[in-house]
């Protein structure tokens, strides 16, 4: 699942992608994304530190994407804004065993689902999110995959 911070970061990045090369202030992005400007400013600072967005001060300043929307994935944004939740894993990436076999099965299932979700995030670009999918009944990962 994506946290609220991750969702707001995605909103901001999609907004910037819709205005390529046009510096946008945190206030302008806030108006387009319905995210409070104070919270958004913190998110944008984090995205700037991660290298996804650039910021420029001054009268014609604002935030822009450092990369093309085709080159940024949902995973990149979520990972930069707010680490993806992780299960307790061992050094080889396996879920740590539990003394309870039912919990072991549950952990394996959750790990598998997390892996599938992460794959969708890694293969979905910001550009793909911006493309009209056609009929309103199209939804899910196939509708937004590049």
Residue-by-residue DSSP string for 4-16: HHHHHHHHHHHHH
pLDDT of 86 reads 52
Handedness of CA 26, 31, 33, 35 (dihedral sign): positive
Q: pLDDT tens digits, residue range 113-144?
A: 888 999 999 999 999 999 865 434 444 444 33
Angle value at C-alpha 55, between 52 and 57, nearest 5 degrees: 175
Which one is predicted more confidently, 39 or 102? Answer: 39
Read off the tokens for 139: 């939804």
Q: Which domain holds residue 26?
A: 4-144
What is the C-alpha separation between 71 and 133, in angstroms, rounded? 20
Which one is predicted more confidently, 112 or 102? Answer: 112
pLDDT of 85 reads 55
Name, in order, each residue with C-beta under 8 angstroms of 118's C-beta and a sequence gap of 6 or more. 75, 84
Task: Point out the least confidently predicted range of 24-28, 30-34, 103-107.
Answer: 103-107
CATH of the domain at 34: 1.10.10.10
pLDDT of 60 reads 87
Phi, psi of 87 (to 5 degrees): -80, 165
Portion of the chain with pLDDT greater than 90, in percent:
58
pLDDT at 91 over 80: no
Read off the tokens for 91: 């050094």
Number of domains the chain contains: 1
> Hey, how many other C-beta atoms are within 10 angstroms of the C-beta on 101?
9
């Amino acid at each position: 699942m994506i946290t609220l911070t991750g969702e707001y970061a995605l909103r901001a990045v999609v907004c910037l992608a819709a205005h390529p090369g046009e510096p946008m202030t945190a206030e302008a992005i806030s108006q387009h994304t319905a995210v409070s400007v104070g919270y958004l400013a913190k998110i944008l600072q984090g995205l700037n530190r991660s290298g996804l967005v650039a910021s420029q001060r001054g009268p014609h300043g604002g935030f822009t994407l450092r990369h093309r929307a085709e080159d940024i994935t949902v995973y990149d944004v979520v990972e930069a804004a707010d680490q993806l939740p992780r299960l307790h894993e061992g050094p080889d990436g396996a879920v740590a065993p539990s003394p309870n076999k039912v919990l072991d099965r549950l952990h394996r299932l959750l790990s598998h689902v997390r892996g599938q979700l992460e794959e969708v995030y890694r293969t979905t670009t910001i550009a793909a999110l911006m493309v009209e999918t056609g009929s309103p009944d199209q939804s899910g990962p196939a509708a937004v995959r590049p």
